[in-house]
Structure 1
């Protein structure tokens, strides 16, 4: 991973939500499940797992909620202006943020997936490097 100077700032597409990532993510995951494909309108979604204390988020957020395949609740927080997803969390583990807006950071060099999950639902044309962990379903 390339050296990144923290904190790293970023903002949603319209600029109404600003965030500061204070430290490197604990993990970067690419999820290929159908829900993440819908969320990202792409082949997969990138998630940076961070401790809630290590990210500051400012701006008006709205939220959605859905039940995952494991039965957990997944609460998504998004910008009320442009609709960009900022983060998700499981209310049973509120100290862990699944930061979805990582590509909106001013410096994105730390966005290198160490793991790919739900590869059973990935698009056929996506090629995952052999040296990266892969799981057919959620880890």
Structure 2
């Protein structure tokens, strides 16, 4: 996949350019991510903050996570589409929501986390790393 690759929220009010490949792509099966995605899991591309450029206004929402860290989310104030998550204590690490990329062919999760909370009907593919909780 040639980079850069672009992405945007549903309404186009927030746009971004991913300059290089993600460090990791994970599928999270925790109950919070099931609520976020309205599906069995949420996808996250771990990227370094200096490898992504954002354009447009975003709002922020934060909550405490099971680890005791803060999980903050940036989202479009118009359509509500989540763009990324981050821990304010580690602003150099971006947890991009990659389903809003213009080319989603890069989305190949190699790690599945919080499988202790996964939906029974979902079968995790072979040859991926699995964690019962957070990694």
TM range (shorter): over 0.9
**What is the TM-score of this pair, normalised by structure 1?**
0.95
Pairing 1:109–2:115 present:
no
How far is 1:107 from its partner? 1.2
Distance in 1, matches of 2:104 and 2:20, equals 13
Length-normalised TM-score, structure 2: 0.98
User: 2: distance between equivalents of 1:128 and 1:6?
Assistant: 29
Gaps of 5+ in 2: none
Q: Aligned partners of 1:67 and 1:79: how far apart in 2? A: 21
How far residue 110 of structure 1 moved from its aligned partner, in angstroms, is: 1.2
Q: Which runs of 5 or more residues in structure 1 are unaligned?
A: none
Deviations 1:21-67 (A, max 9, x none): 00000000000000000111111000000000001111111111000
- Paired residues in the alignment total 135
- Measured on the aligned residues, the alpha-carbon RMSD in Å equals 0.6
Cα distance, 1:130 vs. partner?
A: 2.0
Deviating beyond 6 angstroms after TM superposition, the runs of 4 or more aligned structure 1 residues are none
Task: Determine the structure 2 residue equivalent to 1:124.
Answer: 120
Question: How far apart, CA to CA, are the structure 2 residues paired with 1:103 and 1:75?
Answer: 18
- Once the two structures are superposed, residues 80-125 of structure 1 have per-residue CA deviations (whole angstroms, 9 ceiling, x without a partner) of 010000001001111000001x111111111100100000100111
